[in-house]
Amino acid sequence: MEDRNLLTERLHVHIEGRVQGVGFRAFVEYNARQLNLKGWVRNRWDGSVEVVAEGDRMILEKMLALLRNGPRGANVTNLVFGWQPASGEFASFSVRRTD
């Protein structure tokens, strides 16, 4: 049987703009769970939002497209992301405390 981690990747994203106070974290959590992704989302003290998600690359690309726009009321001005191998450390997708 194949190791599932060999088929998954990690997407790490920083989203800037009007992304706090508009339901961005709830939007990310809802969509990540709908897409069966694992990981977390949190606000940053600098006003940005950070997302770490693991799953199939094609599904992560869908999440990335959603993050480019965000929920109604958000205004994404900059999105910086990178790809890494999945660690498999997450059991679900959650909202973390501000860092």
**Which one from 43, 69, 72, 96 is the annotated catalytic residue?**
43
- Is-catalytic flag, 69? no
SS3 content of the chain, % helix, strand, coil (to 5): 30, 35, 35
- Is-catalytic flag, 5? no
**Which one from 25, 68, 78, 97 is the annotated catalytic residue?**
25
Q: What are phi and psi of 21, to 5 degrees?
A: 80, 10
Residue 66 has, within 13 A of its CA and on its CB side, a CA count of 20
Catalytically active residues, by annotation: 25, 43
